Every structure is written in structure tokens, then in C-alpha cells.
Amino acid sequence: MEEAEDEVTVQTPHDIEQGLPETVSLLDKLRTAIYHGEFSPGRRLGESELAGRYNTSRGAVREALVQLQNEGLILRPRNRSASVRAVTPAEAVEITEVRAVVEGLCAAKAAAAATEADHAELRALARQMEDAVKRGDMLADSRISDLMHAKIRAIGGQGAANRILERLRYQDVRYQFHVSLLPGRLAKGASEHYDIIEAVIAGDPVAAEQITRDHFLSVIAALRQLEELKRLHPGIAL
């Protein structure tokens, strides 16, 4: 097994096409830089530097940093520059464990409440995800995955769960993105999402909850695989 692992080729964030559409907001650009590791944990985020980098005002940067702080992605000590908050591998696993339970509840509620119009929206998201996976577009896949889970939460009417999950999701999203760089993980994750969608459309709350929990347990296994890969190959850029 160890010999096979030595031959593993992992795509790094630097292999992904650089640059984002001009229409992408400053907040999304900053999030993406954190997700990709361009702004690594502990990296200071000065307002003047970011304003120059993104050709915008310090006021706009300040507003974006406040939102990133609310999402748990950065720290903003009083009278000091903001910095990227470090999330340990163990914390990422804990967050994903909580998501497994809460997202499972939302999926069960959604399966009992979804309408034909909801089914059509979920099927459309599944088609978009399939297209993204075929292109190997991890950014699009991540965005569509977020939309799918948000749609399921909305169908289930779980407002409190949604507020909890929004905060948790941003805190471990950098690890989630890097997990998608593992060989075969993009397609596997998409397949798991398709199964969740089908269970919701089938109106089966028990299956929807279990399949959703299984999906997040699969993510946890991939997180641990990622950490083991980094331990075996210390120089790998993840």
C-alpha cells in the first residue's frame, strides 16, 4: 500500500486556473484566496494592502473583513491587523461531524416537504454538478454543492439549523476544497450528492438523513486521508 501511495499524483491549488470573473465580489475573492491557501493560516490581512491588491477602497475591504470574521474565517483583534484563522485538522473533523447530524436532519425534513418544483430545482443542480465534474471545475462544483445543501435546508424549513451550518461551513471550507484535490474525490463527492438528491425526491426521510450522514462521514475519511498524505509527503502543496 505504501508503494502505491508514493505514486499518487494530487492536483494542487496552483494547478487550478488562476483568476476569477470580474463580477465576483471582493468578499468572494477573499474567501477564495483563503480556501485555496493563497492567504494561509496566520497570514495578516492589512486593509491598505488588500485595497491595493483588489483595486478597491479600504471601506469596502473593512466591510468584507467584518463578514469574514462573522463567518469564522479570520481574526480581527482590536487595534491590530486581521489575520486568517487557523482551523486544525481535528477541528475540521469535529465541524464535519456536527454537519453530518444537522444536515441529515435537514435532508429528512426536506424529503417530507419537497414539492415537484423543488424536485425540478434539485435535478437542475445535479445536472450542473455533473457538468462541473466533467470539466474538472472544482470551484463550480463547490459552489453548486453549497447551493444544493442550502436548497435542501430551505425546503426543510430549518432556519435555526441553517444559521448554525452557515457559520460552520465557512470555517472548514478550506479543508473541504483541498479534499476535492484528492484523486477521484471530485467524482465520488458528486455521486454522493446525487444520492442525497434522489432520496429527497423519492420522499424518503429515513434514507435522505442516512445518505446525508454517510456523505459527511465520507468527507471525514477523506480529511484523514489528506492529512496522512501530507504526513507521508511533507512537501506536497495542499
Residue 20: pLDDT band by 50, 70, 90 thresholds?
A: very low
More confident residue, 46 or 28: 46
Start-end of CATH 1.20.120.530 domains in the chain: 89-232
Question: Per-residue pLDDT averaged across 116-145, rounded?
Answer: 93
Three-state DSSP class for 74?
strand
pLDDT band for position 83 (cuts 50, 70, 90): very high
Lowest mean pLDDT segment, chosen from 3-17, 92-106, 203-217: 3-17
Half-sphere exposure of residue 108: CA atoms within 13 angstroms, side-chain side:
13
Q: What is the pTM of this model?
A: 0.71
**For a pLDDT cut of 70, what percent of the chain falls above it?**
84
CB 130 within 8 Å of CB 139? no
Which is higher by pLDDT, 115 or 172? 115
Q: What is the pLDDT of residue 217?
A: 96
Q: Does domain 89-232 have CATH number 1.10.1200.10?
A: no
Q: How far is CA 140 from CA 128, 180, 215, 225, 230, in A?
A: 9, 12, 19, 23, 25
The CATH 1.10.10.10 portion of the chain extends over 7-84
Give me the pLDDT at residue 162, please: 82
DSSP designation for 14: G
CATH number for domain 7-84, candidates 2.60.40.1170, 3.40.50.1980, 3.40.50.10860, 1.10.10.10: 1.10.10.10
